[in-house]
Chains A and B, each alone.
Chain A
Amino acid sequence: MTRYVMVADLRRCVGCQTCTAACRHANATPTGVQWRRVLDMETGEYPDVRRTFVPVGCMHCEDPPCMTVCPTTATRKRDDGIVTIDYDLCIGCTYCDVACPYQARYKVDKADFAYSDKPTDAEEARYDPKRLGVSTKCDFCAAKIDAGLEKGLTPGVDPEATPACANSCIAGALHFGDIEDPNSNVSKLVAENESFRMHEELGTKPGFYYLWDES
């Protein structure tokens, strides 16, 4: 079995948002929609304060609440663990949005462009009306993974088969791979470091690991 996951090393992330920009470029998401986002968390009180950058997005849960509640079966989980949305089936009820504990979903009802009411040439070329009025979210660049696998490439190792956010990370904080493969980069990182998954107590079994210290 294969289960693709993302690993974020919180010690390395510098909050540069390059992953956010790479995701927006790769997926042509509209203004305000960031499938990969980096939170800037400030905690503590002076002089004992901390600042942590936390990449977030769809956690591709093993037990995705968004899929359970979806009345249309538009949200599905593939055999490799990637949670997808069929934009031709979704009715835009946003039940998935309130079922997701990670605020990973977006719905845009009207076309919105960056600089004016009209799209730029690049926006026009990549404008996808299928995404209007439906829920959208990160799919780990599934099309890219599939295309890479067809060429015999390894997701997480070969950039051509790896999500844009992980490819673009300047700090080596984001890693992608198959957690079921004990020799994969992500399996080794999780084994060699202390890690947690967000909101594990809710039973969603997210596919997004955060590294926070050495083992």
Chain B
Amino acid sequence: MISIAPRRQVTWDWRAAGNFLFGGAGGGFMTLLAVFVATDTPINNILVLIGLALAGLGLFMVWLKIGRPLRFLNVYRNPWTSWMSREAWVANFLFAAGLACLVYGGPIAHGLAALFGLLFLFCQAQILRMARGIPTWRTGAIVPLVLATGLAEGAGLVSLTALGGISLPSWIGMAVGGLAIVRAATMLAYTNALQGGQSPDAVKPGLKTLLWVIVGIGGVAPVILLALPTSGMVAGLVASILVILTGWHMKYQIVCHLGHYQGLALKHEPARGGAAPGTSSRPGWSE
């Protein structure tokens, strides 16, 4: 159905959002794994598998959504202009690099996996950026936001590996807190970019709420938890969980609830019946 005022898109539902949730976290995790976890430990192989599984789960959820799942190989046909096609290609390279980590190990394989994890994340950001029909997605400010969110989630997931007895550098907490603050800053820039006439009225309350979630619960709260003099492992884990869950909440909201179409508009109302022409009309936009 078509509407005059911007309405929420429904073609990209929770399955599409799942790609950004799990794929984004998986990409960020693969990137930060190379930084924080020694590559020569056997446990690293399990972590690589977890990272690939997250990225794979995201892609599987997209596969569940498409109308013609048996034709999925067609997604590779347009890497020249389509970021969705590029994401699919990069996913292949990411899985190949992950496999190389498992079979050969070593810094080169892990470095490549980290690089392709980051590229995978970048493709996801560009997928949203190129959706010109959705004002809250097409803004350039979505790119740093998606990148920072994926990396913050990746750092949070790396931090959670401590539960498995993995020894992490002492500055992992600083990394989680730092990336949470960077993400909060990109969220602020994102909501600022959508002020005024840059987004329809219907999404503005949701954006405001989301800003508070990301800055307050996903930014300030984890940093306080990590900075407390009495902070121990539990506080660090809670902080990481907050960073991950708020990131997933944010991406779900942006894809499923704040993805309103541009809507339709008239630059000039026509002159009819001898009357003078009217002014412009843009229902659903106050500015």
- In the assembly, what is the distance between CA of A123 and CA of B62, in Å? 32
**Of A101-109, A144-152, A159-167, A181-189, the one with at least 4 CB within 8 A of chain B:** A101-109
Residue numbers in A under 8 Å from B121 (CB-CB): none
Which residues of A (130-165) have their CB < 8 Å from a CB of B?
132-134
* Per-residue interface assignment for chain B, residues 133 to 150, with 1 indicating a CB less than 8 Å from any chain A CB and 0 otherwise: 110010000000000000
Interface residue tally for chain A (C-beta within 8 Å): 54
Which residues of A (58-73) have their CB < 8 Å from a CB of B?
65, 67-73
Most B CB contacts (10 A, CB to CB) among A93, A210, A213 go to: A93
User: Do the beta carbons of A41 and B72 come within 8 Å of each other?
Assistant: no
User: Do the beta carbons of A52 and B270 come within 8 Å of each other?
Assistant: yes
- In the assembly, what is the distance between CA of A128 and CA of B253, in Å? 36
Residue numbers in B under 8 Å from A52 (CB-CB): 266, 269-270, 278, 281
**Known pairs A43-B278, A91-B66, A97-B9; A71 contacts B77 (CB<8 A):** yes
- The answer, yes or no, to whether A198 is at the interface (CB within 8 Å) is yes
Residue numbers in B under 8 Å from A103 (CB-CB): 2-3, 133, 261-262, 264
User: Do the beta carbons of B66 and A93 come within 8 Å of each other?
Assistant: yes
- In the assembly, what is the distance between CA of A92 and CA of B269, in Å? 36
User: Do the beta carbons of A89 and B77 come within 8 Å of each other?
Assistant: yes
Partner of B67, one of A68, A132, A198, A200: A132
Residue numbers in B under 8 Å from A41 (CB-CB): 4, 266, 281, 283
Residue numbers in A under 8 Å from B9 (CB-CB): 97-98
Size class of the B contact interface (CB-based, 8 Å): 35 or more
Q: Which residue of B lies closest to A135 (CB)?
A: B67
- The answer, yes or no, to whether A21 is at the interface (CB within 8 Å) is no
* Per-residue interface assignment for chain B, residues 53 to 89, with 1 indicating a CB less than 8 Å from any chain A CB and 0 otherwise: 0000000001001111101101111100111110010
- The answer, yes or no, to whether A204 is at the interface (CB within 8 Å) is yes
- The answer, yes or no, to whether B12 is at the interface (CB within 8 Å) is yes
User: Do the beta carbons of A99 and B131 come within 8 Å of each other?
Assistant: yes
Q: How far is the CB of A164 from chain B (nearest CB, A)?
A: 19
Q: Which residue of A lies closest to B86 (CB)?
A: A71
User: Do the beta carbons of B4 and A213 come within 8 Å of each other?
Assistant: no
User: Do the beta carbons of A91 and B75 come within 8 Å of each other?
Assistant: yes
Ordered by A's residue number, 24 sampled pairs between the chains whose C-beta atoms are within 8 Å are A10-B269, A34-B2, A39-B2, A52-B278, A65-B130, A68-B130, A70-B82, A71-B76, A92-B68, A93-B66, A93-B67, A93-B84, A94-B67, A97-B9, A97-B11, A98-B133, A99-B132, A103-B2, A107-B11, A133-B68, A198-B267, A199-B265, A200-B267, A212-B266
